[in-house]
Amino acid sequence: MVSGAVVVAQGLFAALIPSDCRLCGVPLENISRLPVCRSCLLAMKPISVETCEICGDSLGVSSFRAASQEEAVPQPEVANECPACQDQKPHCSKATAYGPYDGGLRDLVHLLKYDRVEPAAGKLGVMLCEAIAKLNLGTDPFLVVPVPLQVSKRHERGFNQAEMIARKALRCAHFNNLELGAGILERTRPTASQIGLTRPQRAENIRGAFRVEVLTTGTKASECARVLLKAGARRVLVATIARMLKQHSEALPDSVLAKAARA
Q: Is residue 9 part of a domain?
A: no
Q: Is residue 56 part of a domain?
A: no
Q: Is residue 25 part of a domain?
A: no
Report the alpha-carbon distance of residue 96 to residue 216 in Å, rounded. 10
Is pTM, for the whole model, over 0.85? no
pLDDT 10s digits, 131-166: 999 999 888 889 999 988 888 888 888 999 999 999
Distances (CA, A) of 253 to 56, 148, 225: 12, 10, 12
pLDDT 10s digits, 17-54: 558 999 999 999 888 899 999 999 999 999 999 999 99
Helices within the chain (DSSP H only)? 2-16, 38-42, 83-87, 103-113, 120-133, 151-157, 161-172, 199-206, 219-230
Report the alpha-carbon distance of residue 32 to residue 195 in Å, rounded. 33
Full domain range(s) for residue 250 = 83-259
Number of structural domains the chain divides into: 1
Report the alpha-carbon distance of residue 43 to residue 123 in Å, rounded. 13
Mean pLDDT of the 236-243 span = 92
Q: Is residue 22 part of a domain?
A: no
Q: Is residue 128 part of a domain?
A: yes
Q: Is residue 253 part of a domain?
A: yes
Report the alpha-carbon distance of residue 247 to residue 5 in Å, rounded. 51
List, as one string, the DSSP characters of 208-251: TSEEES-----HHHHHHHHHHHHTT-S-EEEEEEEE--SS-S-E
Q: Is residue 5 part of a domain?
A: no
